[in-house]
Amino acid sequence: MKNPKIISPGAQLLKKTGALKKQGKKIVFTNGCYDILHAGHVRFLNKAKKMGDVLLLALNSDESVRRIKGPKRPITPQAERAEIMASLSSVDIVSFFSEDDPYNIIKSVVPDVLVKGGDWAIGKIIGADIVRAAGGSVRNIKYEKGMSTTNIIAKVLKVYGGAK
């Protein structure tokens, strides 16, 4: 059974977000690979959700993750990442983008709040220009040191003696 929180990009996503905006809902947007879910992700998404009524999480497609992170990533395929993320109570909508950055999906949705982790300086957050021009806000949430998918992968490789 398809999860109703997982919405294809394009017309289906625009229809959903347009309806929410007509209802006066404040849409919060964030994005990322979310390859291996960890506590830092969960904490970040819980904080992001509190910034509005609806949290839209745009996941990098598998092809996008490979271009950004290298040919051995993602560890978890796109459909499974979407299923995992949609199971979180803080996440209301999961969609995808196949480009290297979320600029086009932000341009189409025009969220009320754009939020990234504290490792992103406000001035470097992709799509900030779009959100601000529409009267929205751009925020970042403090980065939790040491919590990253890359660190988890490194620990696993150390325990199991590297890639075989």
Long-range (24+ apart) CB contacts under 8 A made by 19-23 are: 20/53, 20/54
Check residues 142 and 76 and name the one with the higher pLDDT: 76
Range of the domain at 39: 11-159
Residue 149 lies in a domain: yes
Q: What is the CATH number of the domain that holds 71?
A: 3.40.50.620
Report whether pLDDT(163) > 60. no
Residue 108 lies in a domain: yes
Residue 77 lies in a domain: yes
Per-residue model confidence (pLDDT) at position 27: 98
Residue 55 lies in a domain: yes
User: Phi/psi zone of residue 29: left (φ > 0), alpha (ψ -120 to 50 degrees), beta?
Assistant: beta
> DSSP character for 77?
-
Residue 5 lies in a domain: no
Question: Looking at this protein, which amino acid is placed at residue 126?
Answer: I
Cβ neighbors of 129 (< 8 A, separation 6 or more) are none
Residue 1: pLDDT band (50, 70, 90) is: low
Per-residue model confidence (pLDDT) at position 30: 98
Per-residue model confidence (pLDDT) at position 118: 82
Check residues 52 and 164 and name the one with the higher pLDDT: 52
Residue 2 lies in a domain: no
Compute the average pLDDT of residues 25-32: 98
Residue 164 lies in a domain: no
Chain position carrying tokens 């919060």: 28
What single string gives the DSSP state of each residue in 5-57? TB--TTHHHHHHHHHHHHTTPPEEEEEE---S--HHHHHHHHHHHTTSSEEEE
Check residues 157 and 59 and name the one with the higher pLDDT: 59
Residue percentage of the chain with pLDDT more than 70: 95
When divided into structural domains, the chain yields a total of 1
Residue 138 lies in a domain: yes
